[in-house]
Structure 1
Amino acid sequence: MKARVTASASYTIGDIDKRLYGSFLEHLGRAVYTGIYEPGHPAADAQGMRTDVIELVKALDTPICRYPGGNFVSAYNWEDGIGPKEDRPKRLDLAWRTTESNQVGIHEFADWADKAGTDMMLAVNLGSRGLDEARAFVEYVNHPGGTYWSDLRARNGRKEPWNCRLWCLGNEMDGPWQVGHKSAAEYGHLANETAKALRGLDPTLELVVCGSSHSNMPSYPQWEATVLEATYDQIDYISLHMYFENYEKRTDEYLALPLKLDRYISTVSGVIDYVKAKSRSKRDVRISFDEWNVWYHERKQDAQRMRDWDWPEAPRLLEDIYNFEDVLQVGCILNTFIRRCDVVRIACIAQLVNVIAPIMTEPGGPAWRQTIYWPFMLASRYGRGTALQLAVEVPFYSAAVADHVPYLDIAGVHDADSGTLTFFAVNRHATEMLEAELRLDGFKPRSVEHTIIKHDDLAATNTRSAPDNVAPRKGEGASLSGGGLSLALPPHSYSMVRVQL
């Protein structure tokens, strides 16, 4: 199978915000407890944080981490997680039918984020609570001192403010499953008033308003229009969420789902443009895709388990074990975000540790990388710079979500600082080698390196006993050819091709 791709220095999509490679930690399952925090573990530091996990997170180079939820935040009292640990209350978490110990709160998470080399993206509770609690939380986190909340922070051991810039105004408020679910009009009014109050504290904050939980919601995309009309001049981003499933075990249909993702982004981008025009506004609102991942391996079983159990603390929950097929999917998702970086400025893989996550841990035992760790790491570390508008000629196939699904999914990034071009490519074809000729207009290639992730078994996983079963290796499918590139991409493979200019 043949393909032709043209990359030109003159045709770009836009600069990639590094926060496109963000992450997410929620008080859910073992994401926090025995995930990042496990006092008594051989690798735990003085604060009880697992240093083996920190090292794996640092290698991902994820610039932001969204916290503390997620569904959890919609009934969360942030004040429960401050002060002496022995005085912190245990609470019932209605989102996941568990008991929350509050041994990790804003102080512990902020310290962990600093050690892991990531900035905080904090969420306020607009479900069971509202404007005043959100205002107090921001004041506690960001105000220098001399007020009740900032002085309380100092008494709790942190004199200097954390100065968190990015704040989410609730989570998935369109969802009937959400504690404190609201109509679009109700939520739009509350979010606007909360945003006005937070801007009264600090007009430079970046604020994220809730969009649709997924594109199958009956209120989509009218929800976006109603909420944006209520909030447009007070917020910076609208959040979207999407999870990817393969219950039917159809790889061709599964790998076509990123075209649905692209359509979702296009639709909401159009709604943003409509509201901007209607509002006669000069401001630009962008998309924060702050929950995305593959999620189906344990989803149905865990939904039943939650109905049956009796409020456990940090149970094993939503611990999907990812396979090689999921590597291809995650690669296509990341490519979609790169190609839409002019609109999608922030994205957060959900989640980071144990819960539908690239990193797994065993209590008292090791931490290891799941299969999807690798495409995320490669994109995060090497997908920085300017996204290129590629012209691609390649055969297509038809799927339920789209009539024309290209067998080659490819994104290109030019990093002027390092003098490199990087291409991320997925061959969706099950049996055919994909031979691609890449024309490089306005670039002078000097050398090329090929990294490939390939396994003969789509169901192959990484486990505690075989943590590197699916991992990147040096490829031999890329060569310089007449001022451009020749690529040979095996069937069902993920490749990163780095060109030194």
Structure 2
Amino acid sequence: MKKVKYFVDKNYKISEVDPRMFASFIEHLGRAVYTGIYEPDHPTADDQGFRQDVMELIKELKVPMVRYPGGNFVSGYNWRDGIGPKEDRPRRLDYAWRTTETNEVGIDEFVDWAKKADIEPMIAVNLGTGTPQDAGYFVEYCNHPGDTDLSELRKKNGHEEPHNFKLWCLGNEMDGPWQIGHLNADDYGKKALEAAKIMKWVDPTIELVACGSSNAEIPTFPEWDRTVLEYLYEQVDYISCHRYYENFGNIEDFLGSFADMEKFINTIVSTADYVKAKKRSNKTMYLSFDEWNVWYQKKIKLTDWEVAPPILEDIYSLLDALVFGGLMCSLLKHADRVKIACLAQLVNVIAPIFTRKGGAVLKQTTFYPFQQVSTYGRGEVLNVLLDAPTFKTNLHGEIPIVQSTATYNKEDNTITIFALNCDQIDDVELSAELRSFGGLKVIEHVVLDGPDLNATNTFENPENVKPRNVDIPEVREGSLNIVIPKLSWNMIRISCNK
């Protein structure tokens, strides 16, 4: 059995975890909204049409924030189309996904849903076809208390109190040629700067996210990020990151996706710090990793201009869930700079929650690692010193067979270790040195694994892939020896007695 040495000290911490690390994303795309969170004819729908079975699972995931309304969708979206009496709202062609948008759900409905789900909205403005003035008007409608045309219109539409959205995205993926109103870095920087000025004049309390690069393969990466930050460094609080992973047939490369995510984060951090130095600024730029997931970006031919067609409905396997867990470790390991991370997306569209129109709701395999880390990955991220054998990948070079991080929660005095074993043949014995925490007792060891890496959850067999509890070892003199099964995702929770 391979052995991994694991050292954690309570005094060696990376950062407090921002709860927004466990955020998600709802875009007007496919069935994310319609027959996802909203389906008035569903047996569980409330008086506003929101599916309660879906909301229960979202609450189980403990998602604190959701980005809305896009995504590519937002770059052609007029927020005014989604307010006022529903019978008066226009049906529009959505150029981004070539569907028809009914506008049954708009900003006021979304804020009602968010309150019911105990979620803080993260709102994106249109900097594709939209103007800086449009962005300012949107903030005014949502956040200004009253006595202006737009704030009084909000009241007329049923919301006397302002929505008080505090986090706003300055567009979406504006570096991408696929984006409606695509701009080069200089033109985006100038436009976003004017939008930022107006938006903060309307509400000085808001935080802003600048569009970073949409991916690492685009030729302008990371020069785009440098240029944009040189325009916006003192006006924004975050630069966005987007990164997706899929299995191209090499399991070692896919399992090692966490190494690419960490390289990607380090590149953006370095770029931001260069701009900080160039500007002689005392401000540290943080990252909003507001799109990430496993996503199989296959091309699907659909009939144009349908309403809520089944777009991007990936069905996730056990292998996908293992890779997903490794990515979550990477985000936590960079909690000093990554303050926001949005799993893209939340329901139906490349999502951990999947619905049938008029029917049941399903937990996909990726639901479980997200739920575990969102629930128990709070508190402080600890700096883990790991001595492990490596395995060879084509894309990432030699990387450790175990990807892991650990958190310490002062509130309940617990340590949680998250670990992905990438070894395809052997279990691993993990020897963890934890003596700085005092007396310890293992609460549980939960494993996600199985004989079939391609296994999925279905409506007919919804618990085909789910975590299992295994026997827990004793902690002796501050040391823990625990077996991590081959090709498995693990959560080990430990209580501290003093």
User: TM-score interval w.r.t. the shorter chain?
Assistant: over 0.9
Corresponding position of 1:300:
298
Report what 1:100 is aligned to. 101
Amino acid in structure 2 at the alignment position of 1:103 = E
Alignment partner for residue 462 of structure 1, among 457, 460, 468?
A: 457
Please give the root-mean-square deviation of Cα atoms over the aligned residues, in Å.
0.9
Paired residues of 1:259 and 1:401 also in contact (CA < 8 A): no
The CA deviation string for residues 220-278 of structure 1, in whole angstroms up to 9 with x for no partner, is 01001000000000000000101101122x22110112111101100110111110111
Structure 1 stretches of at least 4 aligned residues deviating more than 4 Å after TM superposition: none
For 1:399, the aligned partner's letter is T
Task: Tell me which residue corresponds to 1:486.
Answer: 481
Per-residue CA deviations over 1:107-135 (Å, capped at 9, x if unaligned) read: 11111111111100000000001101100
C-alpha separation in 1, matches of 2:151 and 2:379 = 38
Q: CA deviation at 1:478?
A: 4.2
414, 424, 437: which is aligned to 1:420? 414
Question: Do the aligned partners of 2:436 and 2:478 also contact (CA within 8 Å) in 1?
Answer: no
Give the CA deviation at 1:441.
3.8
TM-score where L is the length of structure 2: 0.98
What amino acid is aligned across from residue 271 of structure 1 in structure 2? T
Q: Does residue 262 of the first structure (1) align with residue 262 of the second (2)?
A: yes
> Is 1:46 the equivalent of 2:44?
no
Q: 2:205 corresponds to which residue?
A: 204
* Contiguous gaps of at least 5 residues in structure 2: none
2:332 maps to 338
1:38-437 pair list within 5 angstroms: 38-248=39-249, 250-296=250-296, 299-302=297-300, 305-306=301-302, 309-437=303-431
Counterpart of 2:239, as a letter, is I
1:401 Cα shift? 2.3
Runs of 5+ in structure 1 lacking a partner? none
Question: By how many angstroms is 1:301 displaced?
Answer: 3.8
One-letter identity of the residue aligned with 2:104: Q
State the distance in 1 between where 2:399 and 2:435 align. Answer: 26
Residue 220 and residue 451 in structure 1: after superposition, are their counterparts in 2 closer, same or farther (change >3 A)? same
Q: CA deviation at 1:485?
A: 1.1
Deviations 1:365-393 (A, max 9, x none): 01110000000000001000110001100
How far apart are residue 486 of structure 1 and its match? 1.1
Q: 1:174·1:183 contact (CA, 8 Å) conserved in 2? A: yes
Give distance in 2, aligned partners of 1:479 and 1:191: 56
In the aligned structure 2, how far is the partner of 1:115 from the partner of 1:445? Answer: 41
Output the CA distance in 2 between the equivalents of 1:144 and 1:225. Answer: 36
How far the C-alpha of 1:283 sits from its partner, in A, is 1.5
Aligned 8 A contact 1:430 1:492 in 2: yes
Q: What TM-score, normalized to structure 1?
A: 0.97
Displacement of 1:404 in angstroms is: 2.1
Code of the aligned partner of 2:131: G
Deviates more, 1:273-282 or 1:171-180: 273-282
- Which letter does structure 2 place at the counterpart of 1:127? G
Conserved? CA contact 1:341–1:387, under 8 Å:
yes
Shift, 1:477, TM fit: 5.3
Q: Secondary structure at the match of 1:398?
A: strand
* CA distance in structure 2 between the partners assigned to 1:495 and 1:470 by the alignment: 14
Q: Which moved more, 1:187-196 or 1:95-104?
A: 187-196
1:411-468 Cα offsets, whole Å, 9 max, x none, are 0001111100000001000110100100014102431121111111000101111111
Percent identical across equivalent pairs?
49
Q: Which letter does structure 2 place at the counterpart of 1:457? A: D
Equivalent-residue separation in structure 1 for 2:460 and 2:477 (angstroms): 46
SS at match of 2:244: strand
